[in-house]
Amino acid sequence: QVQLQESGPGLVKPSETLSLTCTVTGGSVSSYYWTWIRQPPGRGLEWIGYIYNTGSTIYNPSLKSRVTISIDTSKNQFSLKLSSVTAADTAVYYCAREVNELFDYWGQGTLVTVSS
């Protein structure tokens, strides 16, 4: 059974960089696409972007200038960095696997609050 677990600081100061890691167990990040999705409080789901095992990435144009997704196949992890954060970036951040265009496995999500 594939499992994903997000980790990282739950509080980030405005203008700083949000950094999260997703650890995958029961499967390998050397296959499929690995995705970050977020949900601001009281709002809907927003796709941030994904990475393939080759390191190729596609980002949401709305966030592209601030987002970096990377992958570490040796640790079976992938990561998200979002720079210059504001209160609007406060959200539950999910990592997920995309197989045949479908998000089939998700992490439990982690709340990141942007506040001084």
Mark 31-48 as b/e (b = at least 16 C-beta within 10 Å): ebbbbbbbeeeeeeeebb
Q: Which CB, 16 or 103, lies closer to another protein?
A: 103
Whether 34 contacts 22, CB under 8 Å: yes
Q: Which CB, 49 or 71, lies closer to another protein?
A: 49
Grouping H, G, I as helix, E, B as strand and the rest as coil, residue 89 is helix
- Find the shortest distance in angstroms from Cβ 99 to another protein: 10
The Cα 16–Cα 38 span in angstroms is 18
Residues in 9-48 that interact with another protein by CB under 8 A: 35, 44-47
> Which residue from 93, 103, 86 is spatially nearest to 8, judged by alpha carbons?
93
Site size toward another protein (CB under 8 A) is 20
Q: Which of 5, 21, 60, 83 binds another protein (CB under 8 A)?
A: 60
The yes or no reply on residue 61 touching another protein (CB under 8 A) is yes
Question: Scanning the structure block, which residue is given the tokens 């997920």?
Answer: 96
Q: Which CB, 17 or 62, lies closer to another protein?
A: 62
The Cα 39–Cα 30 span in angstroms is 27
Going residue by residue from 94 to 113, which x/- string records binding to another protein, judged by CB under 8 A? x-x----xxxx-xxxx----
Which residues would be at the binding site for another protein (CB under 8 A)?
35, 44-47, 49, 58, 60-62, 94, 96, 101-104, 106-109
